[in-house]
Amino acid sequence: MAEHIDGRALDEVVSFTSELIRIDTTNRGGGDCRERPAAEYVAERLAATGLEPVLLERTPGRTNVVARIEGTDPSADALLVHGHLDVVPAEPADWDVHPFSGEVRDGVVWGRGAVDMKNMDAMVLAVVRAWARAGIRPRRDIVIAYTADEEASAIDGSGFLADHHPGLFEGCTEGISESGAFTFHAGPGTALYPIAAGERGTGWLKLTAHGRAGHGSKVNRANAVSRLAAAIARIGEHQWPVRLTPTVRAALAELARVYGIAADPAAPDFDVDELLGKLGPAAALVESTVRNSANPTMLEAGYKINVIPGHATAYVDGRILPGGEDEFRDTLDRLTGPDVDWEFHHKEVALQAPVDSPTYAKLRAAVEEFAPEGHVVPYCMSGGTDAKQFSRLGITGYGFSPLRLPPGFDYPALFHGVDERVPVDALHFGVRVLDHYLRAA
């Protein structure tokens, strides 16, 4: 398949990434974000290709952009390509380069969103514009969506689009977005390219302990803070049992093959922790997805040091594997005990996508075309993406935002991290791979 990515597209992906970073779309939660300037930026550049992007808002300023590229085969299912425009907060004092400068220095683009995920937003823009210049049309319809609010509840973004504008995604059966097809250096000469084919479900919890209010100097056997602290300690120390999903089994089998380790993840006596111990750095790709998890993150109690409050509250970040919700609920009931109530503060589904599908094969082939030295492996994301909300429309999601990264570049650590950045060469690679896949899809 001939490449249709020109030098202008390679320049544009860098400038688009930089310019999007300079548009501060920090999502602090609770509705404190404004994506509209970034949405107008991408909509203007899509419209310049002849597309007709639609801007949609549930809340003023929380803007989403959707456009459709008509394919040459009207009988083919459509493909969704989506990316979010918001980013997590960044404290400039902690950074070597200002997080909203978009500075290009020594072949690297710096700033919040460089990897999560204004780089992919820019790649899509660059590919679409290159197609327009070359007169290229894909085989199947491609729906492009730039969303708001992914870094919080997605209620103003993909959730709003899926629930209130499903017609814009008519015919879409599959989608691609963050995060996958990046280089994961797993040892000397071993470059992995994980493609996501699943996500753990989101189970953010609110715990409330009730007790008897009183003076801090008096004996109190019904101290809400003590009750909550005990429950939180039990949750934090709990060892969740292994639960291997089809995606994770496939990931373990492929990683064992890459490392030349004899292992059968489908065997009844398979010991996942033993295999993880042999995988070195690559264990990080799967170790968070072989079990459910629940990590305490926030505590709220009291208003004065000598007053025992009548209630105390905590929040827990729970993540649930496909098929693991009953176990999760039962375990939380047991760990919280009779004196602490819990409820879902925010809940979203777990996802699985087949790794033996024609789509996955094409995703693999696109990476191998430009990174023949790499080993493509499936994996399940420990967290979640907008694919959860779009799954309500029957859209199967894969994580695919390709980047070829140099050794020592800790890509996963830069998600929500300090000094987030992306190499220019990685963006060029991503545009080429994305173009190859989308035309083959």
Give residue-wise pLDDT tens across range 132-167. 999 999 999 999 999 999 999 899 999 999 999 999
Residue that finishes a domain, picked among 327, 349, 371: 349
**Strand, helix or coil at 294?**
strand
From first to last of its 441 residues, the chain has per-residue pLDDT tens of: 556 788 999 999 999 999 999 999 999 999 999 999 999 999 999 999 999 999 999 999 999 999 999 999 999 999 999 999 999 999 999 999 999 999 999 999 999 999 999 999 999 999 999 999 999 999 999 999 999 999 998 999 999 999 999 999 999 999 999 989 999 999 888 999 999 999 999 999 999 999 999 999 999 999 999 999 999 999 999 999 999 999 999 999 999 999 999 999 999 999 999 999 999 999 999 999 999 999 999 999 999 999 999 999 999 999 999 999 999 999 999 999 999 999 999 999 999 999 999 999 999 999 999 999 999 999 999 989 999 999 999 999 999 999 999 998 888 888 899 999 999 999 999 999 999 999 999
> Is residue 375, in this structure, part of any structural domain at all?
no
> Is residue 267, in this structure, part of any structural domain at all?
no
| Residues 206 and 106 occupy one common structural domain | no
- Are the beta carbons of 224 and 312 closer than 8 angstroms? yes
CA-closest candidate to residue 111, choices 9, 38, 194: 38
Bridge-partner residues for 396, per DSSP? Answer: 174
What's the rounded Cα separation, in Å, for the pair 257 and 3? 32
| 397-422 confidence digits (pLDDT tens) | 999 999 999 998 888 888 899 999 99
> Is residue 220, in this structure, part of any structural domain at all?
yes
Q: What is the pLDDT of residue 3?
A: 65
pTM comes to 0.93
| Residues 170 and 310 occupy one common structural domain | no
| Residues 211 and 156 occupy one common structural domain | no
Q: What is the pLDDT of residue 353?
A: 97
| Residues 150 and 222 occupy one common structural domain | no
Q: Are strands 108-110 and 421-423 parallel, antiparallel or unpaired?
A: antiparallel
Q: What is the pLDDT of residue 2?
A: 54
Mean pLDDT of the chain: 96
CA-based angle 167:170:171, to the nearest 5? 170
Number of domains in the chain: 2
Domain region containing 99? 7-179+385-440
The CATH number of residue 417's host domain is: 3.40.630.10
Q: What is the pLDDT of residue 1?
A: 54
List the catalytic residue out of 86, 121, 174, 420: 86
Q: What is the pLDDT of residue 412?
A: 83
| Residues 161 and 19 occupy one common structural domain | yes
Q: Are strands 351-352 and 191-199 parallel, antiparallel or unpaired?
A: antiparallel
Q: What is the pLDDT of residue 411?
A: 87
Q: What is the pLDDT of residue 251?
A: 97
Question: What residue type is 216 in one-letter code?
Answer: G
> Is residue 187, in this structure, part of any structural domain at all?
no
> Is residue 401, in this structure, part of any structural domain at all?
yes
| Residues 318 and 436 occupy one common structural domain | no
CA-closest candidate to residue 193, choices 211, 181, 206: 181
Question: What residue type is 109 in one-letter code?
Answer: V
| Residues 157 and 232 occupy one common structural domain | no
Q: What is the pLDDT of residue 341?
A: 98
| Residues 138 and 226 occupy one common structural domain | no
Known catalytic membership, residue 150:
yes
| Residues 67 and 24 occupy one common structural domain | yes
> Is residue 111, in this structure, part of any structural domain at all?
yes
List the catalytic residue out of 116, 150, 178, 348: 150
| Residues 18 and 121 occupy one common structural domain | yes
> Is residue 272, in this structure, part of any structural domain at all?
no
| Residues 83 and 207 occupy one common structural domain | no
| Residues 130 and 225 occupy one common structural domain | no
Known catalytic membership, residue 86:
yes
The CATH number of residue 299's host domain is: 3.30.70.360
- Are the beta carbons of 339 and 310 closer than 8 angstroms? no
> Is residue 372, in this structure, part of any structural domain at all?
no
